[in-house]
Amino acid sequence: MSKMRYSRRAVLKGGAAAAAASALPAPMVWAQEIKDITLRQFGTGVSNLNDVATKVKEDLGFTLEMTALDSDSVTQRAATQPDSFDIADIEYWICKKVWPTGNLQAMDVSKIANYDKIVGIFKDGKLTPESVIAQGTAPHTVGFVEGEGSSTFATEQTNWMTLIPTIYNADTLGIRPDLIGRPIESWTELLNPEFKGKASILDISSIGIMDMAMVCEAMGEIQYGDKGNMTREEIDKTFAIFTEAKKNGQFRAFWKTFDESVNLMASGEVVIQSMWSPAITAVKSRGIPCVYQPLKEGYRSWGGGIGLSANLSGMELDAAYEYINWYLSGWVGGYLMRQGYYSAVPETSKDYMTENEWGYWFEGKESTDVITSPTGDVLAQAGETRDGGSFYDRMGSVACWNAVMDENQYMVRKWNEFIAA
Amino acid sequence: MLKNRHIQGWLQASPLTLVLLGFLILPIITIVVVSFWQATEFSIIPAFSFENYEFLFGSPVTYKVFFATFKYAFITWAMTLAIGFTVAYYLAFHIRSQTLQIALFLLCTIPFWTSNIIRMISWIPFLGRNGIANSALQSWGIIDQPLEWLLYSDFSVILAFVHLYTLFMVVPIFNTMTRIDHSLIEAARDNGASGFQTLVHVILPLTKPGIMIGTIFVLTLVMGDFITVRFMSGSQKANVGRLISNDISLLQYPSAAATAVILLITVLIVIGILLRFVDIRKEL
The per-residue pLDDT for range A330-343, each reduced to its tens digit, is 999 999 999 889 99
Which of A246, A268, A413 lies nearest to residue B130, judging by beta carbons? A268
Listed residue (B142, B119, B125, B122) closest to A269, CA to CA: B125
Domain span at residue B47 reads 29-283
Residues of chain B positioned with their CB less than 8 A from the CB of A253: 152, 233-236
Instruction: State the Cα angle at A304 between A302 and A307, rounded to 5°.
Output: 155
Identify whether B232 is part of a domain. yes
Q: Which of A179-183, B80-84, B93-97, B277-281 has the lowest mean pLDDT?
A: B277-281
Q: Are residues A171 and A261 in contact, defined by beta-carbon separation less than 8 angstroms?
A: no
Cβ–Cβ below 8 Å for A416 and B246:
yes
Cβ–Cβ below 8 Å for B238 and A419:
yes
The pLDDT > 90 percentage for chain B reads: 60
User: Above 60 in pLDDT, residue B143?
Assistant: yes
- How many other C-beta atoms lie within 10 A of the C-beta of residue A124? 14
Mutate which of B52, B120, B246 to disrupt the A interface (most A C-beta within 10 Å)? B246
Residues of chain B positioned with their CB less than 8 A from the CB of A406: none
pLDDT at B73: 96
Cα diameter, chain B: 82
- Check CB contact of B242 with chain A, cutoff 8 Å: yes
Residues of chain B positioned with their CB less than 8 A from the CB of A419: 235-236, 238, 242, 246
pLDDT at A3: 41
Listed residue (B111, B101, B149) closest to B128, CA to CA: B149
Between CA B255 and CA A304 the distance in angstroms is: 30
Confidence of residue A82 (pLDDT cuts 50, 70, 90): confident
Name residue A103's amino acid: N
pLDDT at B41: 65
Which of A72, A197, A200 lies nearest to residue B249, judging by beta carbons? A72
Helix, strand and coil in chain A, % to nearest 5: 45, 20, 40
Query: A184: which DSSP letter?
Result: -
Q: Are residues A20 and A302 in contact, defined by beta-carbon separation less than 8 angstroms?
A: no
Cβ–Cβ below 8 Å for A251 and B59:
no
User: Above 60 in pLDDT, residue B267?
Assistant: yes
Q: A141-167 pLDDT, tens per residue?
A: 999 999 888 888 998 899 999 999 988
Q: B37-81 pLDDT, tens per residue?
A: 987 766 678 888 898 899 899 888 899 999 999 999 999 999 999
Confidence of residue B126 (pLDDT cuts 50, 70, 90): very high
Residues B241-244: contacts with CB under 8 Å, at least 24 apart:
B241/B69, B242/A419, B242/B65, B243/A416, B243/A420, B243/B61, B243/B62, B243/B65
Cβ–Cβ below 8 Å for A267 and B129:
yes
Interface size A-B, in CB pairs within 8 Å, comes to 75
Identify whether B2 is part of a domain. no
Name residue A288's amino acid: I
- Check CB contact of B68 with chain A, cutoff 8 Å: yes
Q: B159-190 pLDDT, tens per residue?
A: 999 999 999 999 999 999 998 988 999 999 99
Q: A232-269 pLDDT, tens per residue?
A: 999 999 999 999 999 999 999 999 888 889 999 999 99
Q: Mean per-residue pLDDT for A191-202?
A: 94
Identify whether B17 is part of a domain. no
pLDDT at B39: 79
H-helix or E-strand containing B54?
helix B51-58
Which of A70, A101, A253 lies nearest to residue B235, judging by beta carbons? A253
State chain B's mean pLDDT as an integer. Answer: 90
β-strand A87-91 against A38-43: which pairing, if any? Answer: parallel
* Minimum Cα–Cα distance from A76: chain B residue: B42
β-strand A251-255 against A199-202: which pairing, if any? Answer: parallel
Three-state SS for A390?
coil
H-helix or E-strand containing A68?
strand A63-68
- Check CB contact of A81 with chain B, cutoff 8 Å: no
Residues A97-100: contacts with CB under 8 Å, at least 24 apart:
A97/A404, A97/B41, A97/B42, A99/A142, A99/A145, A99/A151, A99/A153, A99/A162, A100/A151
CATH topology of domain A173-297+390-420: D-Maltodextrin-Binding Protein; domain 2 (3.40.190)
pLDDT at B223: 94
Residues of chain A positioned with their CB less than 8 A from the CB of B148: 197, 249
Identify whether B16 is part of a domain. no
- Check CB contact of A263 with chain B, cutoff 8 Å: yes
Q: Mean per-residue pLDDT for A4-16?
A: 43
Identify whether B3 is part of a domain. no
pLDDT at B283: 60
| Nearest CA-CA distance, residue A351 and chain B, Å | 41
* Minimum Cα–Cα distance from B151: chain A residue: A252
Residues of chain A positioned with their CB less than 8 A from the CB of B118: none
Identify whether B18 is part of a domain. no
Identify whether B22 is part of a domain. no
The CATH class for the domain spanning A5-170+301-353 reads alpha beta
| Nearest CA-CA distance, residue B137 and chain A, Å | 18
User: Using CB atoms within 10 A of its CB, is residue A177 exposed (0-12), middle (13-18) or buried (19+)?
Assistant: middle
Cβ–Cβ below 8 Å for A269 and B151:
yes
Identify whether B163 is part of a domain. yes
- Check CB contact of A248 with chain B, cutoff 8 Å: no
β-strand A63-68 against A107-108: which pairing, if any? Answer: unpaired
Listed residue (A342, A352, A319, A336) closest to A390, CA to CA: A342
Confidence of residue B151 (pLDDT cuts 50, 70, 90): very high
Alpha helices in B91-239 (DSSP H): 98-109, 116-121, 123-127, 132-139, 154-179, 182-190, 195-198, 204-224, 227-232
Residues of chain B positioned with their CB less than 8 A from the CB of A197: 148
Between CA A318 and CA A108 the distance in angstroms is: 11
Between CA A168 and CA A343 the distance in angstroms is: 7
CATH number, domain at B110? 1.10.3720.10
pLDDT at A68: 82
* Minimum Cα–Cα distance from A416: chain B residue: B243
Total structural domains within chain B? 1
User: Above 70 in pLDDT, residue A32?
Assistant: no
Q: Mean per-residue pLDDT for A89-112?
A: 90
Q: Are residues A267 and A195 in contact, defined by beta-carbon separation less than 8 angstroms?
A: no
pLDDT at B264: 95
* Minimum Cα–Cα distance from A100: chain B residue: B42
